[in-house]
Amino acid sequence: MEKTSKIGRRFEGKVAIVTASTQGIGFGIAQRLGLEGASVVVSSRKQENVDEAVQKLKAQGIEVFGIVCHVSNAQQRKNLIDKTVQKYGRIDVVVSNAAANPTIDPILQMKESLIDKLWEINVKASILLLQDAAPHLQKGSSVVLISSIAGYQPQTTLTMYGVTKTTLLGLTKALAAEMAPDTRVNCLAPGFVPTHFADFLIKDEAARNEIEGKTLLNRLGTTQDMASATAFLASDDASYITGETLVVAGGIPSRL
């Protein structure tokens, strides 16, 4: 992460919830928002991961609150919102980052239970989380959905995952219209970032080199790349941007 001295304070006095935020891109986003002054609420499925993330962020002087939340669990989603409002009294930013990719099976060979899981976590949970959060969002608030470059061109081993991420592009448009004018809704489509979620990029040097070669910048993305782009979309610097998807993929082809 960049030195704090180089980072602005665009989120001073604001409260931000980031799902699946104890590692990887989600942690990077929470860290960036916190360094810019937000009170950050981090969450993931395991208490130990939440505790570890809270400790790391507090060590950087960030105001942080950690809650266990499996986004497909209705009670845990409600608890995430309720506890945040009880502690801070408001919500200004929601970043829906949780995602799953439980299989590399082709769509036509995929078990129904796996299709259900992909829709449940990657699409439906974002909708239901925002249903709970919407009554507490402040005027001028912001929602950022985390999609993927795979939403534009689903890869062979990420087909159904890619389709769910395509859905988020449409969901962004629909929610932006529904939540206007008080709340902006935008989407981030990350390229390939070597994290635990995409551990093949760390383990398979040939795959890594192939993907790097498809970018115009000849490198993979970083969690900081995704965090800074998300912070922009969530901030007042993007106050006239809503219903849009920002592709942060080093120039990998996505659209005209």
Give catalytic residues, as residue numbers: 161
User: Of 92, 96, 95, 94, nearest to 12 (Cα)?
Assistant: 92
